[in-house]
Amino acid sequence: MSIHPLAAVSPEAELGVGVTVAAFATIEAGVRLGDYCSVANGAVIKSGTRLGCHNEICEHAVLGGRPQHVAQPSDIGTLLIGDHNVFREGVTIHRALKSDSQTLVGSHNYLMAGAHLGHDACVGNSCILANNALLGGHVTVEDRAFVSGAVAVHQFCRIGRFAMVGGHARVVQDVPPFMLIDGQTGSVVGLNTVGLRRAGYSNDEIATLKAAYRVIYRRGLPWVEVLEALRVEFTTGLAAHLHTFLAEGRRGFVQERRGPPTPAATLRLRVAEDDKRRLRAKAG
pLDDT band at residue 183, thresholds of 50, 70 and 90? very high
Domains of the chain: 2-200 (2.160.10.10)
The answer, yes or no, to whether residue 261 has pLDDT greater than 90, is no
When comparing pLDDT for 258 and 279, which is higher? 258
Which pLDDT score, from 0 to 100, does residue 268 have? 42
Catalytic-role residue among 94, 119, 138, 243: 119
Q: Please write the tens of the pLDDT for every residue from 37-47.
A: 999 999 999 99
Catalytic-role residue among 114, 118, 137, 160: 137
The answer, yes or no, to whether residue 17 has pLDDT greater than 70, is yes
CA distance 130 to 147: 6
Average pLDDT over residues 225-253: 96
- Active-site residue 119, yes or no? yes
First-to-final CA distance of the chain: 78
Give one DSSP letter per residue of 41-89, joined into a string: TT-EE-TTEEE-SS-EE-TT-EEEEPP--TT--SS--EEEE-SS-EE-T
Which pLDDT score, from 0 to 100, does residue 266 have? 42
pTM of structure: 0.89
Please, which residues have CB within 8 angstroms of residue 235's CB and are 6 or more apart in sequence? none
Q: Which long-range contacts (CB under 8 A, 24 or more apart) does 244-253 make?
A: 245/142, 245/158, 245/160, 245/174, 245/176, 245/177, 246/176, 246/216, 249/158, 249/174, 250/156, 251/156, 251/157, 251/158, 251/172, 251/173, 251/174, 252/173, 252/174, 253/173, 253/174, 253/175, 253/176
Partners of 228 in the β-ladder: none
Catalytic-role residue among 120, 138, 166, 186: 120
Question: Residue 91: phi, psi to the nearest 5?
Answer: -65, 140
Q: Please write the tens of the pLDDT for every residue from 204-229.
A: 999 999 999 999 999 999 999 999 99
